[in-house]
A and B are shown apart, each in its own frame.
Chain A
Amino acid sequence: MAKQSIYQSEIENLEESKNFLKKSDYSKLELQMEFKKLVENYEELIDQVKIITKISDRLQKKLNKTNIALEDSNIKLADLNDQLNETIDQLTEAKIGRKAATIVMIVAIALFIVSEAFIEPIIDNMFPNNFLVGLGLKLVVAILIKPGEDFTNKYMLKKARKEQLRESQLSHNNKP
């Protein structure tokens, strides 16, 4: 019959032996029989302890191996994640760089058209014989193209990173 606890059978065997000891009189044969039973139970218990300890140690080793493999996988996963983030950053930067260059180019063309159509005639009226003023204005616009592109690029990158951070925080908060 199944017992109430994992070592119930062994506890019961011990109790039986203790009860035997409490008896005031017993024959030599009874004593021999009880001692034999006790030795057998003890032997079985030692065998069990030996095997359980051995198996337990071995399975602990298996657990340790699994933990080490898991740690290695986590490190590899973290490396891959870093590489992925780096690639995503590079792609985002390239995309934003192209967008910034387009915006600055459109602004430069618009400024050129505005300067040709509206500002140039005014300058010609104000300085009739000095073409250098008009040329200087165009030169200023040309010089401002590169810093303008850098500024736009930085601004858009900052905005994109803020957006990325917000999204990652949102997805982190939504995890169960």
Chain B
Amino acid sequence: MDNLKIEGTKQTPEIDFNSSTGILSISGRSIPENTFEFFNPVLLWLDEFSSIAPEKVIAKINLEYFNTSSSKYILEILKRLRIILKDGKDILVEWYYEEDDEEMMETGEDYEDVSGLPFEIISIDDE
């Protein structure tokens, strides 16, 4: 299975999903004009990945800002990770936020509550 690599822009996040290592990274800003167009390939990739996922999967999410429709797609991504978890795989979601970004930290906590996935909320220093 191919890896999924999408370069980030001012409006879309960088996606770096590696099927062999099981490391799935999303970082940057997510305010696409057409969220479906952007996230559909991501969800399709995850649908395929769920059947061949390695024993350990780490999702690294480091988002600076995202719009409402992106928040729905993040839920969809977490839903697919939940399916992988139910298949008996080891899943960890690493949710990164900048030290002074209280809102993004709380958002990570909300996703943790709703998804039922193991989360690690990690603060990163402002540069």
Contact = CB atoms under 8 A, between A and B. Distances in A.
Nearest to A48: B75
B75 A59 contact: no
A62 B65 CA distance: 9
B4 to A, nearest CB: 13
For the residues of A in contact with B, the DSSP-based class is helix
Given A6-B36, A6-B69, A6-B73, A51 B103 contact: no
A55 B71 contact: yes
Given A6-B72, A58-B107, A59-B71, 5 more contacts: A2-B43, A7-B72, A54-B110, A59-B67, A63-B65
A55 B71 CA distance: 7
A124 interface: no
Interface centre among A48, A51, A54, A55 (most CB of B within 10 A): A55
A109 to B, nearest CB: 62
B73 to A, nearest CB: 7
Top 9 A-B residue pairs of the complex, sorted by shortest distance between their CB atoms? A2-B43, A62-B103, A56-B68, A2-B44, A55-B71, A58-B103, A51-B114, A2-B40, A52-B71
A4 interface: yes
B106 interface: yes
Give the interface size class of chain B.
20 to 34
B36 A62 contact: no
13 contacts: A2-B43, A4-B36, A5-B36, A7-B72, A51-B71, A51-B75, A52-B75, A55-B107, A56-B68, A56-B71, A58-B103, A59-B67, A59-B103
Interface of A: 1-2, 4-7, 47-48, 51-52, 54-56, 58-59, 61-63
Given A2-B43, A2-B44, A5-B36, A52 B101 contact: no
Nearest to B66: A59
For the residues of B in contact with A, the DSSP-based class is helix
A62 B47 contact: no
A59 B111 CA distance: 14
A54 to B, nearest CB: 6
A1 B44 contact: yes
Interface string B13-38: 00000000000000000000001100
B106 to A, nearest CB: 6
A11 to B, nearest CB: 13
B106 A52 contact: no
A6 B69 CA distance: 7
B104 interface: yes
B110 A51 contact: yes
B103 A61 contact: yes
Contact of B47 (A1, A6, A48): A1
A61 to B, nearest CB: 6
Interface string B65-90: 11111011101000000000000000
Nearest to A61: B103
